[in-house]
Structures are given as structure tokens and as C-alpha cells.
Structure 1
């Protein structure tokens, strides 16, 4: 998938197809920061991407902050929704998860932008209606 790009998904099935297309472009070391309002489909999108990597039984890490999975690749899945202070992320060793051997997904990344790596892919999900979502993918790489 060439970035930047904005794509619309008119159903959960189209979101799954878009997630698979996106997944095919990912590699170990990538960090994906997901943003969108509550119910936008951040977790559904991550679950769909992880199916591409043969990882099932994915739950949102809202209460645990991070879940790790192994499939075709190692995946770290963060949810910053309940993080109250950046120190909580330092305490769990957030930076240690960002390695060249895994792909890292961060839901609600906008809640702790200052800790995000400068090189990342931003995925913004906008609710259009009950089933339709607009996905904007942007690759950031600044010093």
C-alpha cells in the first residue's frame, strides 16, 4: 500500500479486506499508531490485520495496556485509553517493546504522542455512518 492514502470501507468485510492489504505492506520494526473516536473500529482493524499474520483470539488490551502475540511475526498491541500518565508507559517498559523483531500497534496513540517513535505509520479512522469508515494512512519519519 502506497502512503499517504485515504480509503473508505463500506462494511466490516471491506474493512477486513483493507486491513489485509495494509498488513501485506508491514514488516518487523513497524509501529502503527491508531486514532479514532470510541467505536471507530480500531480494535476490529487490528484484529483484521493480525488475522493476516495468522494470529487469532485478539482482545483489546484496554485493561492490560499491552498484549503480545506470535504468528508469522511477533506483535505488540497497546491500548493507551486508560493510561493516565506517561510514567505508566515508562514503568511497563514501553520503549523495550519497540524493537526490530516485532510490529507494534498502539490504539489511542494521540493520548501519549510525546512517547511515540518519530518513525511510525498513523492510521486515523473516521466514522461516516454505522458501517462506513474512512481510513487515512500516513507514514511519519522525522528527527
Structure 2
């Protein structure tokens, strides 16, 4: 998952939105750590309890874990409270547990689903919008 994140991270640019979904332990945070590594960040940790972290750099990384927001039943409202629109234009935004509430943040996004069994992971990437036309890893 780390290597996949590095490959993905090398193609990202300001304003990109990545939504990650999968069960607990699927590798979502490890994928974000790989993205962070490609962007020059070496200390990317899960923002589960703080909900979001911004790693500032030449291309900043906004890392959101929406798990607790989804549990509240008011995820859309709380995502608005995070005020992600302001810095998103100059950063890459990755949202773990990024469902339809998160999808409304941009018409251009990558939706990544990770399915994990005991022995393997299956990753499905869906490119949405013109920004991702022709996208390949």
C-alpha cells in the first residue's frame, strides 16, 4: 500500500481530492503515508482523533479521517465545519472514509476502495471528472 501511495503521490497536484474507503486495517493510512512520502513528508500519522492534519510543504497534504464524523450521522455538516475549501486549492486532500458526503467537495476526484481478506488486498480506483481523464498508475 505504501508503494501504491508513492506511485499515486508522484502524479498529484494542487487541488486534487482522493477519497479512500475500506474496512479497518485495510491499509488506508499506509497508502496516505506513501502519498506523503512522494510529497516529501516522512511523519504522516492517522488523524483519527484530531480528524484532520495539514502537512505544509511545497505541495501541502491535508489528511482527513472521517470515521468519527460518519459515526455521528452528521458527516456533511461536520465536513463543512472543517473549512476544507480554503486550503484545498493549494494542497492535495486525502479523506479516509470518504463517502458521498466527501464526494460533494469536488467534481474531480479519485475514489479508491480497498478490500482486504486475510491474505491479499484488492484495490479499485475510480477516476471521476476531467482532471483524471487518461489517468494510469
Gaps of 5+ in 1: 1-14
Gaps of 5+ in 2: 131-137
Aligned pairs for 1:43-82 within 5 A? 43-82=29-68
Aligned pairs for 1:1-143 within 5 A? 15-83=1-69, 84=72, 85=74, 86-99=76-89, 101-110=90-99, 112-113=101-102, 115-130=104-119, 132-141=120-129
Kept in 2, the 8 Å contact 1:32–1:121? The answer is yes
Stretch moving more, 111-120 or 57-66: 111-120
Kept in 2, the 8 Å contact 1:80–1:111? The answer is no
Higher relative contact order (CA 8 A, sep 6+): 1
Aligned length in residues: 126
CA–CA separation in structure 2 for the residues paired with 1:39 and 1:77: 17
TM-score, scaled to structure 1 = 0.79
TM-score, scaled to structure 2 = 0.82
Q: Deviations over 1:52-87 (max 9, x none)?
A: 111021111111111000234111001110012122
Quote the offset at 1:111 in angstroms.
6.3
CA RMSD of aligned residues (A): 1.8
Q: Which has the higher strand share?
A: 1
CA–CA separation in structure 2 for the residues paired with 1:71 and 1:20: 16
